[in-house]
Structure 1
Amino acid sequence: MMVVRPIQADDWDALRELSRKTGTGFTSLQDDEQQVRGKLDAAMAAFGEETPEEALYLFVMEDTESQQVVGISAIESAVGLQDPWYNYRVGTLVQASRELNVYNRISTLSISNDHTGFSELCTLFLDPDFRHSKNGSLLSKSRFMFMAEFPQRFNDGLIAEMRGYSDENGVSPFWEGLGRHFFSIDFAHADRRSSTNKVFIAELMPKHTIYTNLLPESAQEVIGQTHDNTTPARKLLEGEGLRYTGYVDIFDGGPLLEAPVKDVRAIRESRYVKAHVDDQVGSGELYLISTTGFNDFRCCMSPVTLEGNHIVSITPAIAEALNVKAGDTLRIVPLSAQRRF
């Protein structure tokens, strides 16, 4: 059984191993020991007694049978409060001449800090061997259960930066067509640097509006496009209500999705119930089931039996995985957006 829980100090080896599998373009978890150590330290601080202004809530997915950590996901409580948060805003410029009978609509890119202070969904990675049985949905959507339980720790606006398109060799057409001209380094190098120090972005980033029709067609075509490995994650978030509104990553052109927190389906529709432990539980629709604790937050997915509006029957195995007993309060919501209470 899979359960999502806050990361712990002794998860270091598992976190480091996952970082070796993420690949080029996965900015928030790279094969860099210093960066990974910083992530773990930040998460330990976030779940400590004092909450940092920019808290990183880092979660792992654990197979309860093997006790193996197989995935990771995170929420940044706010972005851009200490280091600037950059992206491009995609716009439209119209140039027309009645005399020449010319009317041109030109796509533009403008540097933006519009999402400063927003909460961010980030660092979602599942070991390729475990990308089945809706494990990815649990790993991603469990974060919404945590946000629903502790809304005071997050901003009213939520964003998720999707990994942009790159080819099988890790080459980003967007970077080759735009970023390289200003930074004079490889995409992978710039991506690694941005995860630890963003000062160089402000120093070298073009300050004026960019006309995308001056870029190579290969770069124009991938603006707002998602990496093949990230497309399922994008569809999952769009199913929960996040939308692309015309902002893209400055390095690979990947889309930024956003939504008001209150409009996210799993947050809006989740509700409290009391646990009833029973060997006989119905099969069928999967639910997210989470506890109400902070440091001991747990979330898993399972069919349940609803007994009225306020009681849910769960199996002994689920109760053990969540470390709850009969009568404890749980938060539940259907895993998919199709089902309604």
Structure 2
Amino acid sequence: MMIIRPLMETDAGALLNLAHKAGIGFTSLPADPERIATKIEASLAAFKDQVDLSSEQSYVFVLEDTHTEKVVGICGIESTIGLSTPWYSYRIGTLVHSSRELKVHNTFPTLYLSNDQTACAEVCTLFLDPDYRHSKNGHLLSKSRFLFLAEFSQRFEPKIIAEMRGVSDANGQSPFWDGLGAHFFDMPFADADRLTGLGKKEFIAELMPRHPLYINFLPKSAQEVIGQVHESTRPARKMLEDEGFRYHGYVDIFDAGPALETQVKDIRAVRDSKLCEVSVEDQVPNGTTLFLVSNTSLKGYRCTMAYLNTPVSGPLSISAALAKALHIKTGESLRTVPLFGPRP
């Protein structure tokens, strides 16, 4: 069975392995043992009883194959961003140049360095081992966070974003970086990406120009990737858009990947999820609808997928195997939502 659970100290080696598979451009999971140790420490601290929105809390989960006890995926949620260090993005805007006398009216798309997404929550750090990209595992990994948000919404800001990985090639070369960032930072994209992943962002404010940048001045190769995602990120973008996330013209300052956003309460899996009292049975008829199901525990959070028959009234019958996987007993509650909703 595939189970989502909170990150543990013993997962350090598995995370390093996933980081190597993710490669350059996956800023939130750099292949650096010290940074991974810091990530684990921060996640363990986030799952404490008291809520503190005055500081950033980083909740990290892993996908475990219980048959092999192998960690094969990672995902995370930040309670809020931009408080300890500035959160930078480019906002795509418009400048108008007009002359009534010459009867000329031109509009130009521009990039504005912005901190507009400060104090938003963020879904982040989504990566699934390529060997496990089947059987709807990607949907489980991504959407499991939404049941956690539904259960513990008081721990997160009401507005939430998802920063998508931008376009880069197999060697880690980014057309947007080569066309813009490289001129100001005088370093390869991989080095800038690594420094950001290590939390060293001061150089952005020190070196990035503050005035609007005309997109038309960029090389065609850089213009074409603004707001576009890495090939391997396309399924993740579609999945988020199906859940209600939308692109509103904010992009990453390094690779120009889009930032999608919505209100937590408007995420389909949050809005439509329900709490059900359960009854654990030895034999349960197979359901016809695939559900995302989770327990309601904070530190012992567990989430998986299961075919269920939801009752009109009374408790929800689940198998002993599912109850064991979710650490739940008869009389306790599960949070459920169909894995797939109606098309938006």
Do these two structures clear the TM 0.5 threshold for a shared fold by scoring above it? yes
Question: 1:302 and 1:49 mapped to 2: Cα distance?
Answer: 29
Which residue matches 1:234? 237
SS at match of 1:38: helix
Listed one character per residue, the Cα deviations across residues 100-158 of structure 1 (whole Å, up to 9, x for unaligned) are 34332211000000111100000001110000011011011110111111111000100
Which residue matches 1:164? 166
> How far 1:314 sits from its partner (Å)?
1.8
TM-score (norm 2): 0.96
SS at match of 2:40: helix
Listed one character per residue, the Cα deviations across residues 182-220 of structure 1 (whole Å, up to 9, x for unaligned) are 000000100010122111111111111000000001000
Which residue matches 1:42? 42
Question: 2:20 and 2:49 mapped to 1: Cα distance?
Answer: 31
Paired AA for residue 173 in structure 1: P
Is 1:8 aligned to 2:8, yes or no? yes
Conserved 8 A contact 2:289-2:309: no
Moved more, 193-202 or 306-315: 306-315
Paired AA for residue 243 in structure 2: E
* Alignment counterpart, residue 83 of structure 1, candidates 79, 85, 89: 85
> How far 1:50 sits from its partner (Å)?
5.5
Is 1:305 aligned to 2:309, yes or no? yes
Counterpart mapping for 1:136-147 below 5 A: 136-147=138-149
> How far 1:306 sits from its partner (Å)?
1.1
* Alignment counterpart, residue 134 of structure 1, candidates 120, 133, 136: 136
How many corresponding residue pairs?
340
What percentage of residue pairs aligned between the two structures are identical?
55
Conserved 8 A contact 2:51-2:154: no
Paired AA for residue 22 in structure 1: A
Paired AA for residue 29 in structure 2: L
Is 1:255 aligned to 2:265, yes or no? no
* Alignment counterpart, residue 339 of structure 2, candidates 319, 330, 335: 335
Moved more, 272-281 or 33-42: 272-281
Is 1:314 aligned to 2:318, yes or no? yes
Which residue matches 1:270? 273
> How far 1:309 sits from its partner (Å)?
4.3
Which residue matches 2:330? 326
> How far 1:34 sits from its partner (Å)?
1.8
Question: 2:285 and 2:93 mapped to 1: Cα distance?
Answer: 52
**What runs of 5+ residues in structure 2 fail to find an aligned partner?**
none
> How far 1:97 sits from its partner (Å)?
2.8
Question: 2:233 and 2:297 mapped to 1: Cα distance?
Answer: 30
Question: 1:67 and 1:167 mapped to 2: Cα distance?
Answer: 33
Conserved 8 A contact 1:19-1:36: no
Question: 1:311 and 1:216 mapped to 2: Cα distance?
Answer: 61
Is 1:207 aligned to 2:198, yes or no? no
> How far 1:320 sits from its partner (Å)?
1.2
Which residue matches 1:217? 220
Question: 1:175 and 1:145 mapped to 2: Cα distance?
Answer: 36
Moved more, 104-113 or 271-280: 271-280
Which residue matches 1:24? 24
Structure 1 segments (4+ residues) deviating >3 Å: 48-52, 98-101
SS at match of 2:287: coil
Question: 2:313 and 2:200 mapped to 1: Cα distance?
Answer: 49
RMSD between superposed Cα atoms in Å: 1.5
TM-score (norm 1): 0.96
Question: 1:261 and 1:5 mapped to 2: Cα distance?
Answer: 21
Question: 1:83 and 1:213 mapped to 2: Cα distance?
Answer: 31
